[in-house]
């Protein structure tokens, strides 16, 4: 009860004032019309409550019960509304902490957590792949058309990448014009097929705000666990492969290959 009053001070104060008013009004009526005589009469052994009096008391009791029930239902409803709002706020905060606000994709923190889980699962024989995707010529779009156009281009690219990826894979924006795709349970051949789909999706005209633009990408791939046993190793090797792809000066897909040791 005390907690309910503390959480709802204004309604509780209103209810308290209403109750005091009713009690004062009742006391004044009792004094004015000598209603205490009724109580004295009831204390006499021979006095019996009439049917009319019984009906009046029953109605009064029913009204009191109804008023308390309405009050309780209102409190329960307010509590439910507060709980729904609180859960919604928690979900929003959780999404803000794990997703990129511009594209709605997972962010770097979410990718790092998923990558750690993927590496751990490889101990049971599962095979995965990490794609790092860096857009080619994105700075030119920003410089020529402005950052608002650049943001819309990033959103369009995110849509293309989602269409090329599988529903089970995790697509993330790492910042700027760099994206990452974590693909689960696949071999090198399947990873190459997904990489080809990404290149086709990004190596064609993209319409943004009535303007048709072409933007390619450099894609580096590291296989899990073949190319590393820690998240840092996997990301580093995918990054090295991506920079090899960028040196080709066109949309390219490069898998990380460990350096050969000359005998």
pLDDT exceeds cutoff 70 at 26: no
**Which residue is associated with the tokens 């009319």?**
52
- What is the pLDDT at residue 203? 82
Judged by average pLDDT, the poorest of 40-44, 48-52, 104-108, 163-167 is 40-44
- What is the pLDDT at residue 59? 76
Q: Residue 143: which pLDDT band, with cuts at 50, 70 and 90? A: confident
Catalytic, out of 100, 134, 169, 177: 177
Judged by average pLDDT, the poorest of 18-27, 100-109, 116-125 is 18-27
The CATH code that applies to domain 108-255 is 3.30.70.270
Residue 15 bears catalytic tag: no
137 or 71, higher pLDDT:
137
Alpha-carbon distances, residue 220 vs 29, 128, 202 (angstroms): 89, 14, 15
Rounded to the nearest integer, the mean pLDDT of the chain is 81
- What is the pLDDT at residue 263? 43
Q: Which of 28, 35, 80, 79 is nearest to 53 (CA)?
A: 35
Is 237 exposed, middle or buried (CB count within 10 Å of its CB: 0-12, 13-18, 19+)? Answer: buried
List the domain boundaries for the chain.
2-98, 108-255
pTM of the model: 0.66
Q: Which of 150, 142, 186, 155 is nearest to 168 (CA)?
A: 186
244 or 260, higher pLDDT:
244
Q: Residue 259: which pLDDT band, with cuts at 50, 70 and 90? A: confident
């Amino acid at each position: 009860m005390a907690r309910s009053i503390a959480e709802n001070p204004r309604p509780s104060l209103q209810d308290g004032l209403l109750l005091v008013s009713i009690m004062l009004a009742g006391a004044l009526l009792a004094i004015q019309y000598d209603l205490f005589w009724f109580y004295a009469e009831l204390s006499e052994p021979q006095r019996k409550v009439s049917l009319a009096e019984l009906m009046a008391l029953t109605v009064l009791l029913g009204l009191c019960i109804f008023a308390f029930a309405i009050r309780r239902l209102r409190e329960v409803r307010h509590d439910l509304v507060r709980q729904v709002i609180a859960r919604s706020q928690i979900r929003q905060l959780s999404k803000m902490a794990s997703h990129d606000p511009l594209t709605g994709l997972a962010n770097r923190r979410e990718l790092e957590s998923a990558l750690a889980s993927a590496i751990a699962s490889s101990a049971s024989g599962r095979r995965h792949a990490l794609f790092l995707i860096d857009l080619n010529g994105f700075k030119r779009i920003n410089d020529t058309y402005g950052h608002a156009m650049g943001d819309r281009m990033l959103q369009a690219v995110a849509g293309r990448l989602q269409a090329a990826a599988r529903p089970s894979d995790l697509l993330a924006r790492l910042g700027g014009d760099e994206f990452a795709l974590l693909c689960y349970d696949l071999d090198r051949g399947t990873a190459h097929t997904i990489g080809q789909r990404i290149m086709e999706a990004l190596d064609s005209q993209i319409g943004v705000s009535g303007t048709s633009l072409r933007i390619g990408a450099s894609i580096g791939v590291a296989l899990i666990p073949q190319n590393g046993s820690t998240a840092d190793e996997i990301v580093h090797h995918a990054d090295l492969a991506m920079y090899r792809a960028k040196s080709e000066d066109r949309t390219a897909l490069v898998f990380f290959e460990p350096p050969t040791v000359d005998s």
